[in-house]
Amino acid sequence: MKITAAFVAIALLASPAVAQPRCITGPEAESLTLVAMPDIIRETGRVCAAQLPRPA
């Protein structure tokens, strides 16, 4: 759940269509990305492992 929330937050921050004032600064967004991205990538690999080919 934490990973999903972080992914949604990152997606919303990256979306130019969202016309809301920014609630976090650029450095805060970068820190959030650096913290959340490894978990997101790891979980994506775990979930998709059955569909992905094995590395050569």
Condensed to tens digits (0 to 9), the pLDDT of residues 21-56 reads 778 888 998 998 899 999 999 998 888 888 878 777
Predicted confidence at residue 31, as pLDDT, reads: 92
pTM of the model: 0.45
3-state helix, strand, coil in the chain (%, to 5): 65, 0, 35
5: pLDDT confidence band, cut at 50, 70 and 90?
confident
At 13 the pLDDT is 67
Indicate if the pLDDT at residue 18 is higher than 60.
Answer: no
Contact present, 10 and 32 (Cβ < 8 Å):
yes
